Structure 1
Amino acid sequence: MEKSLANMQFELEIVKKNRAFRLKLFEQECIFELIDFGDKLLEGLKHKTGKGKILDISHTGMKLNSELNFPVRKEIFLQLYFELQKEKFSLKGKIVRKEEFLNDFSYGIQFIGVNPVEEQRLYMLIQKIEIEKRSK
């Protein structure tokens, strides 16, 4: 019984890792809008838009490269607009991490409040793109 429980836990961890698989993209364009903040001092930036490049993506989040420097010690929420294989997405995200590279900044963005149907659509599309990449 213990062995089968351990096997089940191991299999669950594999499923979790696979479900958050990140697809590497070649700088896919993304437009974003700042929609909410954890700091009232940043309210003047509300509805400001910007452009970035998606470096990788999963159904739970993305890594986004941008020239804009956000103070990530405060909560920053974005509405993200992007297209993968001619399928359009509009997802809400929260910046959870920041990396600096010379004049560019990379942000780890966690998707939040995503409709399960949209999440499944993104997940299936990411899997499809990865399969197509591997078959080339």
Structure 2
Amino acid sequence: MYRRLKQKESQVNKLTKEVKDVEDQEQRKAFRIDMPFDRCTFSIIKIGNKMLKKGSNERPGSISDLSVNGMQLITDMDFPVRKHVVLRMTFKIKGEEFKVVGVIKRKLELNLKPKMTYGIEFKKLKRTTKERLFQLLNEIEIERKKKTE
């Protein structure tokens, strides 16, 4: 009986890992580029059902990586991830300013203490904004590849 339980537990662990691998692949549908510590600012729009006053809480942050669907934000703030935190972020790519709204999807525990890293999913991004962001990210990636050749 104990042996059968161990076999079942092993099967469950294997399936759980496979599901997590698929989820990780699905979360990253767009290519991402590293933007090590590019600066940004953000403000909290909403935590749970509570709306916050516009512009009253702007904070500095850094971008770890960026795609047309989201980014990794590094900040000294510790957000309650399960409370549905909505942020407005402002950043520049090649001198062009972007203002986007996103939701914190995950908190990453990295060796950046006291800083925290959050996976942000962009919401309601206009098609033209998304296309321009894609174009600039693609240009950066091409420039980086040329430098390594």
Amino acid at match of 1:120: E
Q: Go from structure 1 to structure 2 and tell me whether the alpha carbon gap of 1:110 and 1:18 turns closer, same or farther (over 3 Å shift).
A: closer
Aligned residues: 120
1:31 is the counterpart of 2:41: yes
Larger Rg: 2
Between Structure 1 and Structure 2, which shows a larger proportion of strand residues?
1
Structure 1: segments with no counterpart, 5+ residues:
1-15
Deviations 1:78-104 (A, max 9, x none): 110000110110001100010134311
1:133 matched residue in structure 2: 144
User: Partners in 1 of 2:27 and 2:116 — Cα distance?
Assistant: 26
2:59 matched residue in structure 1: 50
Residue in structure 2 matching 1:120, options 131, 139, 145: 131
Superposition TM-score, scaled by structure 2 size: 0.73
- For the 8 Å contact 2:45–2:53, the answer to whether it is kept is no
Structure 2: segments with no counterpart, 5+ residues:
1-25
- Matching of residues 93-108 of structure 1 within 5 Å: 93-101=102-110, 102-108=113-119
Deviations 1:56-94 (A, max 9, x none): 000000001111111111001011000011011000110
User: Partners in 1 of 2:138 and 2:76 — Cα distance?
Assistant: 29
1:8 matched residue in structure 2: none
Superposition TM-score, scaled by structure 1 size: 0.80
Among the aligned pairs, what percent are the same residue?
34
Amino acid at match of 1:109: I
1:12 matched residue in structure 2: none
User: Partners in 2 of 1:69 and 1:17 — Cα distance?
Assistant: 22
1:111 matched residue in structure 2: 122
Q: Which runs of 4+ in 1 moved over 2 A?
A: 16-19, 42-47
